[in-house]
Amino acid sequence: MGPRDVELQAPSDAASGDGFVADLPWGSYAATLDVPACPASPNPTLIVNGLSSELDGGETLADPTLAGTTLSLRESLFIAANRVGSDTIMFDVGVFPMAAPATITLGEDPFPNNVGPICLDGRERGVIVAWGTDMFSSNMWNLNGSGSLMVGLTLLKPPLEMRVVNSQVAGCRYNTDGYISAPLNRPWAFEVGAGGVMGPGNVFADDVTPIRWSPGATDVTVRGNYFGVDPLTRRWIATEGYTWELIDSIMLDANIGGRLFVTGNRIASRGRLFDTLQSSSPLGVVMTDNRIGRIEGFAGLPADLGGIYVDLPNWTIAVGPGNTITGTAAAVTIVNGNVQITQNSITGNTAAIVHLDATPPEPPVITNVSATAVTGSCAGEGLVELFADTLAEGAVWLGSTACTGLLAWSIAAAAPVGYNVTATFTDASARTSVFAEPFPVPN
């Protein structure tokens, strides 16, 4: 194979295809997302036109004609829970115009525990759902029905997490718009189980654990969301509280098979992605095409941004390909677990790859850099990946090769003058080393 010519330019948000137009109202933006239309329903569509939490007809309400002169969101959800078949819930454009969103104010009145399948659709509308101050209650609906969808809503200060199983949440805003308190009953916003999809286009203020993964027999996907940054204002959004880990997991005692896919997200948080996830079974996480840390095009980002922190003894995590991690205190910190870091852009961090585990793999050694190739050695058999960086990380991936036999390797690459070449080594257990000592490219 001939030398690989490299253009040293890490990917930027300007070329990433966010598809966001800053002057769009949120409901209009939500309508542009790659989200399916509400499926056909055997029941007439429920149109919410009230701003209160009233429930005329009681908790057995199934007939919209018994809901009084206006239909509240709470009444709609009870009707959907009590009548047979799927339901679509939409919002009256005269009450919820996009240009002047209206707020549904909720108290401590309960919602039905199991609703679905439903499509709760706020696209082309301006819908804000806000709970009262210092509320301690269980008034949150769940998306447990197979194929349920919620899109285009703003949720402010919910008192409890929403459970999402075999359902999708997209284009929703959570604890944005100046609210400064996390939920009181739980430190996470959504508990996502088997078959759940979070995204695209959800926005989470940097104040709580947005997602608790409850693994099941099928995969969970978190894609195309904004954690700590707002595509509406192109600014960092946070509260006066502190940030937990972005994704955590419940304790499991059996190997349930489902994996977690985290892809195409924008993540700028003071918290740490994953942190200590609890499981006694081997689980898998795949992270691709995310931008983590200091994200181009967003203002007001703090200096103390977190990276990926893994303390998962029974887990295998693939970080890559395609992630960009920059401006963090530590790009990837590994306490426990098998973490493969492959084909990413990691640069401009206070620390890059940090191993706190007992026996991390040794990094490769770069022995020579010429105009056409880079050569070196490694301590065992595995995969060597080569990078170029202005300092000692890996801004641009140059290529990879197996290190076998004599434990020597060579990669054809034309590394640009003025940069350093670095490398990582991944062993047979899918554990990636720290970056090798940088080797300057000769003139």
Which band of pLDDT confidence, cut at 50, 70 and 90, is reported for residue 222? very high
The pLDDT value given to residue 1: 33
Which of 362, 397, 419 terminates a domain? The answer is 362
Q: What percentage of the chain reaches a pLDDT higher than 90?
A: 55
Do residues 217 and 180 touch, judged by C-beta distance below 8 A? no
The pLDDT value given to residue 246: 63
**CA neighbor of 166 nearest in space, from 205, 196, 201, 187:** 196
Tell me: do 253 and 394 sit in the same domain.
no
Tell me: do 48 and 151 sit in the same domain.
yes
Tell me: do 316 and 416 sit in the same domain.
no
CATH number at residue 433: 2.60.40.10
Which band of pLDDT confidence, cut at 50, 70 and 90, is reported for residue 223? very high
Tell me: do 386 and 241 sit in the same domain.
no
Tell me: do 233 and 368 sit in the same domain.
no
Q: Is the pLDDT of residue 180 over 80?
A: no
**Range from 127-131, 197-201, 437-441 carrying the lowest mean pLDDT:** 127-131
Higher pLDDT, 301 or 425: 425
* Average pLDDT estimate for 341-358: 95
Tell me: do 160 and 247 sit in the same domain.
yes
Do residues 364 and 409 touch, judged by C-beta distance below 8 A? yes
Q: Is the pLDDT of residue 194 over 70?
A: yes
Q: Is the pLDDT of residue 254 over 50?
A: no
The pLDDT value given to residue 250: 52
Tens digits of residue pLDDT in 265-316: 999 887 766 655 555 555 688 999 999 999 988 988 888 788 898 887 777 8
Tell me: do 271 and 367 sit in the same domain.
no
Which of 334, 362, 390 terminates a domain? The answer is 362
Tell me: do 244 and 102 sit in the same domain.
yes
Which of 304, 334, 362 terminates a domain? The answer is 362
Tell me: do 255 and 377 sit in the same domain.
no
Cβ neighbours of residue 420 closer than 8 Å, sequence gap 6 or more: 388, 389, 390, 391, 392, 438, 439, 440, 441
In the chain, the number of structural domains is: 2
Q: Which of 184-188, 213-217, 287-291, 314-318 has the highest mean pLDDT?
A: 287-291
The pLDDT value given to residue 236: 87
Tell me: do 297 and 398 sit in the same domain.
no
Higher pLDDT, 185 or 166: 166
Q: Which two tokens stand for residue 157?
A: 């200060």
CATH number at residue 114: 2.160.20
**Range from 120-124, 170-174, 215-219, 365-369 carrying the lowest mean pLDDT:** 215-219
The pLDDT value given to residue 301: 87
Q: Give the separation between CA 372 and CA 390, rounded to whole angstroms.
A: 19
Structural domain harbouring 415 = 1-20+363-443
Tell me: do 254 and 273 sit in the same domain.
yes
Which band of pLDDT confidence, cut at 50, 70 and 90, is reported for residue 328? very high
**Range from 16-25, 66-75, 149-158, 401-410 carrying the lowest mean pLDDT:** 16-25
Tell me: do 442 and 331 sit in the same domain.
no
